Amino acid sequence: TAGITQAPTSQILAAGRSMTLRCTQDMRHNAMYWYRQDLGLGLRLIHYSNTAGTTGKGEVPDGYSVSRANTDDFPLTLASAVPSQTSVYFCASSAVTSGGADTQYFGPGTRLTVL
C-alpha cells in the first residue's frame, strides 16, 4: 500500500520561481496537512484541509497556497520562492471521526532548497 506519496523527493529552486509540491494519499482520509520542518523547530503547519473542497490556514501560510479538488490530492504551491522557504516539507493525512481528526500519517517529505 502506497499510503502517502510526495513529489519531488528534493528540488533546488531559484528565488522568484514558482513550484508545486505534490501530495497524494490512497487511504481515503478526509483531512490533509502541509508542514515544514526546520532544524531546531517543531513541525509547523502551513495549510490544512478537513475535506475535499475546503482549505484553511495554519501557523505559517504566507507565501504558500493549496487546493483540494478531490480527496486524494493536496498540492502545495510556492508562487515566488524566497530563500527562507528552504526547508523539508511533509504532507500528512488523517481520518476524521466523530471525535475530530485522528492520528496523522506522513509522506516521505520533499527537501527544498531556494537559492
Partner 1 sequence: GQNIDQPTEMTATEGAIVQINCTYQTSGFNGLFWYQQHAGEAPTFLSYNVLDGLEEKGRFSSFLSRSKGYSYLLLKELQMKDSASYLCAVRDSNYQLIWGAGTKLIIKP
How many residues touch partner 1 (CB under 8 A)?
19
**Cβ closest to partner 1, residue 14 vs residue 98:** 98
**Cβ closest to partner 1, residue 13 vs residue 43:** 43
Show the binding pattern over residues 20-59: x = contacts partner 1 (CB under 8 A), - = does not: --------------------xxxxxx--x---------x-
Q: What phi and psi values does residue 41 have, to the nearest 5 degrees?
A: -120, 155
**Cβ closest to partner 1, residue 58 vs residue 63:** 58
User: Contacts with partner 1 in 72-111 (CB under 8 A)?
Assistant: 90, 99-101, 103-109
